[in-house]
């Protein structure tokens, strides 16, 4: 894959969507399938999650409802178990399937002083291993309320999906004293366009039809 080299000026921060952008799979699907195998959740949870995933693919996902459904189901699962499952899925399903050249591309960006930040609708607990592997600084996701080692509810603010990704990325930039115009956003789905429009540069990675058309209109770089 022909990743950009930013020969003129490397952006200060790389805001990276995960699923479909760094690898072809869906983290929530991998985690849900593993929990089904371990008997933590029932098949109905997995099927419902798969249905929500289909809605995401066609740009009609109500992510708030999906997250509430997940929290309702997972509130008895210790966070440490969720993180361990996330690690197993990373090692088996994500790491071997990272898109060609993505690791070298991001390593090169870090060597030039860029900061890497994951921005994902997936639970941040399931992305910890990927964050460490990429030497990313932060994982931005929907705020969650945790109590005694369990997830109990959503926190305040929008969900980290669609316009919510831009909201939380801009808040992070403000806290860090960074101008979003000096940043780049990578995404693959039409719902990522808000985050991509809100940064100085945007890269569409193997974009779906709607985002591909939109990226061409905007003059964004397309990586296939």
Q: Domain holding 107: CATH number?
A: 3.40.50.1000
4 part of a folded domain: no
**Residue 3 located in a structural domain:** no
What pLDDT sits at residue 61? 64
Query: Which SS3 state, helix, strand or coil, does residue 223 take?
Result: strand
Which residues, in sequence order, are CB contacts of 103 under 8 Å at separation 6+? 134
Query: Is residue 216 in some structural domain?
Result: yes
In a domain, 1, yes or no: no
Q: What is the pLDDT along the chain (224 residues), one digit of tens a residue?
A: 899 989 889 999 999 999 999 999 989 889 988 988 888 877 666 666 665 555 555 555 677 877 887 888 888 899 999 999 999 999 999 999 999 999 999 999 999 999 999 999 999 999 999 999 999 999 999 999 999 999 999 999 999 999 999 999 999 999 999 999 999 999 999 999 999 999 999 999 999 899 999 999 999 999 99
Residue 108 belongs to domain spanning: 13-223
Pairing of strands 144-147, 150-154: antiparallel
Structure tokens at 171: 């808040």
For the chain, state the CA radius of gyration. Answer: 17
CA 157 to chain centre: 18
Interatomic CA distance for residues 135 and 115, integer angstroms: 9
- The answer as to whether 108 is a domain residue is yes
Domain count for the chain = 1
């Amino acid at each position: 894959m022909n990743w950009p080299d930013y020969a003129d000026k490397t952006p200060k921060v790389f805001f990276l969507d995960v699923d479909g952008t760094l690898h072809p799979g869906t983290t929530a699907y991998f985690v849900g399938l593993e929990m089904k195998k371990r008997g933590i959740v029932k098949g109905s949870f997995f099927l419902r999650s798969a249905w929500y995933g289909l809605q995401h693919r066609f740009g009609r996902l109500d992510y708030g409802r999906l997250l509430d459904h997940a929290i309702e189901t997972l509130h008895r699962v210790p966070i440490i178990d969720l993180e361990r499952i996330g690690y197993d899925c990373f090692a088996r399903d994500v790491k071997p399937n990272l898109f060609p050249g993505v690791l070298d591309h991001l390593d090169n960006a870090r060597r030039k002083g860029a900061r890497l930040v994951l921005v994902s609708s997936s639970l941040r607990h399931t992305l910890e291993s990927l964050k460490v592997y990429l030497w990313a600084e932060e994982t931005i996701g929907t705020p969650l309320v945790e109590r005694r080692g369990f997830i109990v509810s959503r926190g305040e603010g929008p969900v980290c999906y669609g316009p919510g990704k831009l909201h939380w990325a801009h808040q992070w930039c403000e806290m860090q004293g960074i101008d979003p115009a000096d940043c780049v956003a990578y995404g693959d789905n039409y719902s990522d366009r808000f985050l991509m429009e809100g940064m100085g540069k945007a890269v569409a990675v193997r974009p779906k039809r709607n985002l591909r058309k939109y990226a061409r209109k905007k003059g964004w770089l397309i990586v296939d």
